[in-house]
Amino acid sequence: MSYKIAVLPGDGIGPEVVREATEVLKQSAKIYGFSVELAEGVVGGASIDAHGRPLTDSVMRLAKESDAVLLGAMGGPKWDGLDYSIRPERALLALRQELALFANLRPVKLFTALASASTLRREVVEGTDLLVVRELTGGIYFGEPKGITRLPDGIERGVNTEIYSTPEIERIAKAAFEAARKRRKKVMSVDKANVLESSELWRKIVTRVHRESGFEDVRLEHILVDNCAMQLIRDPKQFDVVVTTNMFGDILSDEAAMLTGSIGMLPSASLGGRVGMYEPVHGSAPDIAGQDKANPLATILTVALMLRHSLDQGKAADRIEGAVEAVLNGGYRTLDIQEKDCRLVGCKEMARLVRDKIAQGAQ
């Protein structure tokens, strides 16, 4: 089998971590007997600098013609003063829309070796293994009307609209229930139904899909978003699959990321259309860009998600995840997860250690 992968490194530490992750991808292809064609494109701030806009038509075309997209982080203070319509992050939203990627999967699994790196006590966080299923193409990020207007009296008013339709809720609910069937068969649906009409509809439709679409084997519970934020800190092990709206998912998944010790540990997959898009959860971290300090593990684990969900190479994905765990068990840490009595390594060295473990496992 041969696969075409659109590689979009992005900004800040994006090129560094993506470079190391593609080496892991090429290594896996060699071991498991498939081939990958890596086609690189410029997005985000780098694209603004080169072309005056965060996403060009040619890069969008490349993404649509590929089997999967590997995306680095985008943005940074350099471009913060730009109008919202042309900021680096608009490229991400456009890719999600054009590729019809309505479901973002963010697995939050604590590696045992990192239990003491979490800001929570070991007994609270150890054993955490949950999946956030976030709706991606609806909600407040895309709803109309939106914008900033000046009223007759000179006061400025900013407006964003939270809007969801029945089909949008149905498809993300089904995605969550199907994911739960492969895990511990429990879905927690997060909303704000006590004050928001859009959430009232969300809860109604999620309940109906559960009742009428053959998911009786999956347990469904509802929780308000503020309570969910608290429960993630109080007792994260109670969660299996969490399904929620675009904005709530954005916030809660970043909170959940810190349970693992660092946001630099979390991968994500955006699915729904023919082409899946894969990106680490962390940002561009421009303050450490180019210094060999970035943690490449989230992007390497993102490649594992790509192998599993888009390339049908589950064994290769398992080997990568096992190699990451073995390196962490060996006491190696990048700066963001550094602990006492552990060996501090840089981005390149951490990735090399993972590749060595993959190679050893393939022998």
Residue type, 106: R
Q: Give Cα 248 distance to the centre of its chain.
A: 14
Q: Is the peptide bond before 145 cis (omega within 30 degrees of 0)?
A: yes
Tell me which residue of 5, 6, 9, 7 sits closest to 294, measured CA to CA.
9
Tokens of 255: 């909170």
* 3 state SS of 317: helix
The catalytic residue among 192, 240, 278, 336 is 192
* 3 state SS of 20: helix
The catalytic residue among 250, 278, 336, 357 is 250
Q: Give Cα 242 distance to the centre of its chain.
A: 14
d(CA 94, CA 79): 18
Q: How far from 117 is each of 55, 120, 190, 334, CA to CA, in Å?
A: 37, 8, 27, 12
> What DSSP element (H or E) covers 320?
helix 314-329
> What's the first-to-final CA gap in the chain, in angstroms?
22
> φ and ψ at 143, to 5 degrees?
-65, 150
CA angle 101, 312, 103 (to 5 degrees): 20
The catalytic residue among 49, 226, 287, 356 is 226
User: Does the annotation mark 250 as catalytic?
Assistant: yes
The catalytic residue among 32, 237, 254, 292 is 254
The catalytic residue among 4, 141, 186, 237 is 141
User: Does the annotation mark 318 as catalytic?
Assistant: no
User: Does the annotation mark 254 as catalytic?
Assistant: yes
User: Does the annotation mark 235 as catalytic?
Assistant: no
Neighbours of 296 (CB within 10 A): 29
Tell me which residue of 112, 114, 113, 116 sits closest to 127, measured CA to CA.
112
| Catalytic residue annotation | 141, 192, 226, 250, 254
